[in-house]
Amino acid sequence: MKVLIIEDEAKAARELASILQELDGEITVLATTDSIEQSVAWLQGNPAPDLIFSDIQLADGLCFDIFRQQEVQSPVIFCTAFDEYLMNAFDTNALSYLLKPITREKVSKALQKYQDMKAVFQSPVAQEQLQNLMGQLKVSYKSALLVYEKDKIIPVQVKDIACFYLDKSQVHLTTFQHHHYLLSSSLDELEKMIDPALFFRANRQFLINRHAIANAARFFARKLVLQLTVETAETVVVSKARAAQLLQWMEAS
């Protein structure tokens, strides 16, 4: 088995390579890359590995940008100290999501999962069934939400919503036309209903439409402050852990 390791911490990369060799002497680590730029260059210039082990937070951003810049067919096992990127990981060829510290037991289970799935997917019948299943699982996001105002039920187009925000345990929405409505859904529920290409979960209080962002300014401790095109009850602050992800999301088409 040929493996690519994407990891910006040299010690962690060495430890992972050592674990892989201990578990299976036939595993060959083709290369270790430590950045988005280096990983994209390697993938463009070499045959695809059988399997990729990738950290998520790299020195020059989040590894998901690698898979946006370069088509990757190889399954990926993500290794990270953070669990907040789980949903993003499974938008790629994610096979498994390992939380650091990476142990021999965790890697062993992930490799076994790879071998089990490889055996199944090599079957022509299974491949046909998988294609049918993927067609059925295409995500359909809400294009409109129903809001209630006195005795009226009003449909609001999702594209017209500038932001959702949580205030005193109640979720509100503000439209680009500066209309305000209350919602019965939680922010977590709304995040699953609407297109993540259009809305970003800035923090626990705000879910923001990309077209509502006027600018992002640096804040202390490597956080970001968002200036929106609509008024908000409080300042929208993005944590250091999510700042890089936000900037990459803002760049995406």
Determine the residue type at 61. G
Q: Where in the chain is the domain with CATH 3.40.50.2300?
A: 2-136
Angle at 80 between CA 114 and CA 41, to 5 degrees: 75
CATH class as words, domain 144-251: mainly beta
Among 122-126, 161-165, 195-199, which is the least confidently predicted range?
122-126
Instruction: Point out the least confidently predicted range of 70-74, 181-185, 188-192.
Output: 70-74
The DSSP H or E segment spanning 4 is strand 2-6
Quote the pTM value: 0.50
| Residue 55 to residue 62: CA distance in whole angstroms | 9
CA nearest neighbour of 181 among 154, 210, 211 = 154
Estimate the crossing angle of helix 124-136 against helix 104-121, to 10 degrees: 100
Residues 43, 72 contacting (CB under 8 angstroms): yes
| 2-136 carries CATH number 3.40.50.2300 | yes
CATH 2.40.50.1020 segments of the chain: 144-251
Which tens digits make up the pLDDT trace of 102-113?
Answer: 999 999 999 999
Give the model's confidence band at 240: pLDDT under 50 very low, under 70 low, under 90 confident, else very high: confident
Locate 62 and state its tokens: 């989040």
Q: Rounded mean pLDDT of 6-13? A: 94
**Beta strands 76-80; 51-55: pairing state:** parallel
23 CB neighbour count, 10 Å cutoff: 13
